[in-house]
């Protein structure tokens, strides 16, 4: 039997961001279908061995008459969460071909004009529908490969992305591009899928509008696994009221680019005052919209430098990210890896981890000695950690350097080196509205070899203990 216990879930909200119990159960079933039951014929029978506990009055089991129109949005996060937990269980069972980091199939920063449109086309046809480019999300990385760059949506096992030609027939849009997000993946030894973006112009409509949401200040993408980062750092919606005169620029050979749009080269980015439910999109509005990438797997410093070079050559990773996150230094023309400089940069990053990290418990081990040769491996439950010794007195040990953390019953994070990085110091760009970031990454490193073991996203304004149990061994 598999028991999913959501005791401790936050109480229901006074907004529509609540889920009913049937919606919660459906999303749990979907998450398990994605991970455990992908090869089982669809039927109610697959859920018979699954027990679900969800407290009434929580955000996952709201009481009537609570608003719950955004239940699928809550479901996105729930699917990602369940998939993360199950992925770690499957990894410990060594079914590595079934392990993936997660995604949400949504935006990292839910803000700006949405994808539910209203108004009329130039032919007078009503527009009252969503634009399902959101199905072009990046999937999570696996223990042996990168994530699929645009692999679908975790809430829909057989989703398809919108067809551009059909969109331009039915909506007042003129598409300029659709591509993969540079730096959109969760970083890791194996990176997550990049996710997708699109740039389009409101064309032929005098009354187009879309739903609108604030950015929120915290990333909301997929989780990374075993030292991999959550989904990438590039996906923020931007709208500029450029006007149809930009068509003259295009006729001269210029073409809109997402980074140039953020910088104001294609009109000043526009944001309404307050938080309106909908926002007008005047003809000539130019939008760049994103779908998030997938989480990464493993320490980014373990990524093959040649893989980083290939991604750079394809425009999928920036030089800055290659050096800052992956520790890979390229030559001046970006055609080759500078091997000596890369080795030096990676050592420098590891030294910084050892210097800046501090164990939450005040010490780096609850045990004495180095167990690399003394103790027998029992279970490899993590890409860099294992259980060792006798089962009744098992300890958690680094597979690489032999550092002993604690007993199997304790949270290894208390003895790992712990570093906090605020999103404002990690993200390459400010939020388009100038709002502050409110989240932070909590990174955990092995005190012996500086291997990155886990990256958690935490929101201090919500309170709670930032040192989460991401793995608990009974």
Q: What is the DSSP string of 348-407?
A: HHHHHHHHH-B-TTSSS-SS-S--TTTS-EEE--SSSEEEES-GGG-EEEETTT--EEEE
In this prediction, residue 373 carries a pLDDT of 63
CA distance 262 to 3: 46
Listed in sequence order, the residues at least 6 apart from 77 whose beta carbon sits closer than 8 Å to its beta carbon are 104, 220
Residues 250-271 pLDDT 10s: 899 888 888 888 777 888 888 8
Confidence category of residue 162, pLDDT binned at 50, 70, 90 = confident
Going by C-alpha positions, the residue among 381, 383, 350 that lies closest to residue 226 is 383
Task: With a cut of 90, say whether residue 430 has pLDDT above it.
Answer: no
Structure-token match 């889920």, residue found: 19
When mean pLDDT is compared across 148-152, 446-450, 453-457, the lowest value belongs to: 148-152
Return the pLDDT at 372. 62
Residues 196 and 132 sit within 8 Å (Cβ to Cβ)? no
Q: Which two tokens stand for residue 164?
A: 């551009």
User: Average of pLDDT values for 234-261?
Assistant: 82
Give the least confident one: 2-6, 43-47, 84-88, 410-414.
Answer: 43-47
Distance from C-alpha of 439 to C-alpha of 461, rounded to nearest angstrom: 9
- Contacts of residue 418, Cβ cutoff 8 Å, sequence gap at least 6: 357, 358, 359, 360, 442, 443, 444, 467
Alpha-carbon distance of 282 to 201, in angstroms, equals 10
Identify which of 106, 73, 76, 80 has the alpha carbon closest to the alpha carbon of residue 236: 106
Q: Which residues contact 286 (CB under 8 A, 6 or more apart)?
A: 199, 200, 201, 202, 239, 240, 241, 242, 246, 256, 261, 266, 267
Residue 27 has pLDDT above 80, yes or no: yes
Cβ 137 vs Cβ 221: under 8 Å = no
Query: Which comes out higher in pLDDT, residue 115 or 78?
Result: 78
Q: Which of 296, 107, 329 is nearest to 211 (CA)?
A: 107
Length reported for the chain:
474
Phi, psi of 187 (to 5 degrees): -75, 145
Q: Report the alpha-carbon distance of residue 442 to residue 229 in Å, rounded.
A: 10
Name the token pair of 148: 């699929």
d(CA 214, CA 25): 28
In DSSP terms, which residues pair with 50 in a beta bridge? 2
Quick one: CA torsion of 171, 107, 235, 108, rounded to 10 degrees? 170
Compute CA 332 distance to the chain's CA centroid, rounded to the nearest angstrom: 31
CA distances from 164 to 107, 138, 200 (A): 20, 19, 10
Burial class (CB in 10 A: 0-12, 13-18, 19+), 82: buried
Taking Cα atoms as reference points, which of 277, 290, 293 lies closest to residue 70?
A: 277
Nearest-5° Cα angle at 128, 126 to 132? 125
Residue ranges of domains in the chain? 1-99, 103-303, 357-474
Instruction: Answer whether residue 128 shows pLDDT above 90.
Output: no
Confidence (pLDDT) at 110: 60
* Residue 55: per-residue pLDDT: 97
CA distance linking residue 288 with residue 139, whole number of Å: 21
Residues 6+ apart with CB under 8 A from 307: 146
Return phi, psi of residue 260, to 5°.
Answer: -65, -35
User: Using the 8-state DSSP alphabet, how is residue 428 labeled?
Assistant: S
Give the pLDDT mean for 207-225. 81
Give pairs for 66-73: CB < 8 Å, separation 24+.
Answer: 66/12, 66/18, 67/15, 67/16, 67/18, 68/16, 68/18, 68/19, 68/20, 68/23, 69/16, 70/15, 70/16, 70/17, 70/18, 71/18, 71/19, 71/20, 71/23, 72/23, 72/155, 73/17, 73/106
**DSSP state letter for 254:** -
The candidate with the shortest Cα–Cα distance to 196, out of 152, 229, 140, is 152
pLDDT above 90 coverage of the chain, percent: 50
> Quick one: which of 191, 211, 199, 188 has its CA closest to 281?
211
Task: Collect all residues with Cβ–Cβ distance below 8 Å to 248 and sequence separation of at least 6.
Answer: none
- The residue that leads in pLDDT, 189 or 30, is 189
């Amino acid at each position: 039997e598999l028991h999913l216990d959501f005791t401790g879930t936050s109480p229901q909200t006074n907004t529509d961001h609540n889920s009913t119990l049937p919606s919660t159960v459906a999303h749990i079933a979907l998450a398990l279908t994605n991970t455990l039951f992908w090869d089982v014929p669809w039927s109610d029978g697959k859920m018979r061995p699954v027990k679900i506990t969800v407290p009434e009055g929580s955000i996952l089991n709201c009481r009537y008459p609570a608003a719950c129109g955004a239940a699928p949005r809550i479901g996105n996060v729930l699917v990602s969460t369940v998939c993360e937990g199950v992925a770690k269980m499957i990894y410990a069972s060594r079914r590595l071909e079934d392990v993936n980091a997660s995604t949400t199939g949504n935006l990292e920063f839910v803000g700006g004009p949405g994808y539910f449109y209203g108004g009329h086309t130039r032919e007078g046809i009503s527009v009252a529908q969503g634009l399902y480019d959101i199905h072009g999300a990046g999937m999570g990385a696996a223990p042996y490969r990168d994530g699929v760059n645009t692999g679908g949506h975790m809430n829909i096992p057989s989703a398809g992305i919108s067809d551009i030609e059909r969109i331009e027939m039915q909506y007042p849009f003129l598409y300029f591009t659709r591509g993969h997000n540079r730096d959109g993946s969760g970083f890791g030894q194996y990176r997550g899928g990049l996710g997708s973006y699109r740039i389009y112009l409101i064309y032929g409509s005098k009354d187009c509008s879309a739903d609108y949401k604030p950015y929120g200040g915290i990333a909301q993408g997929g989780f990374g696994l075993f030292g991999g980062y959550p989904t990438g750092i590039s996906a923020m919606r931007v709208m500029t009221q450029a006007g149809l005169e930009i068509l003259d620029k295009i006729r001269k050979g210029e073409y809109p680019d997402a980074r140039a749009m953020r910088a104001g080269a294609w009109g000043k980015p526009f944001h309404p005052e307050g938080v309106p439910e909908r926002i007008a999109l005047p003809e000539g509005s130019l939008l760049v919209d994103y779908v998030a990438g997938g989480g990464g797997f493993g320490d980014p410093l373990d990524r093959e430098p040649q893989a980083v070079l290939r991604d750079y050559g394809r425009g999928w990773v920036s030089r800055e990210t290659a050096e800052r996150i992956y520790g890979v230094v390229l030559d001046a023309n970006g055609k080759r890896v500078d091997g000596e400089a890369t080795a030096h940069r990676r050592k420098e990053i590891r030294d910084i981890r050892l210097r800046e990290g501090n164990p939450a418990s005040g010490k780096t081990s609850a045990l004495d000695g180095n167990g690399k040769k003394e103790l027998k491996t029992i279970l490899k439950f993590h890409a860099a950690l294992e259980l060792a010794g006798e089962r009744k007195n098992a300890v958690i040990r680094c597979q690489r350097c032999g550092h002993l953390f604690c007993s199997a019953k304790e949270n290894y994070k208390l003895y790992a080196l712990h570093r906090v990085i605020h999103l404002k110091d990690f993200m390459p760009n400010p939020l388009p509205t100038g709002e502050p970031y409110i989240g932070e990454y909590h990174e955990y490193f092995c005190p012996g070899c500086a291997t990155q073991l886990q990256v958690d996203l935490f929101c201090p304004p919500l309170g709670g203990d930032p040192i989460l149990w991401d793995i608990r061994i009974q």
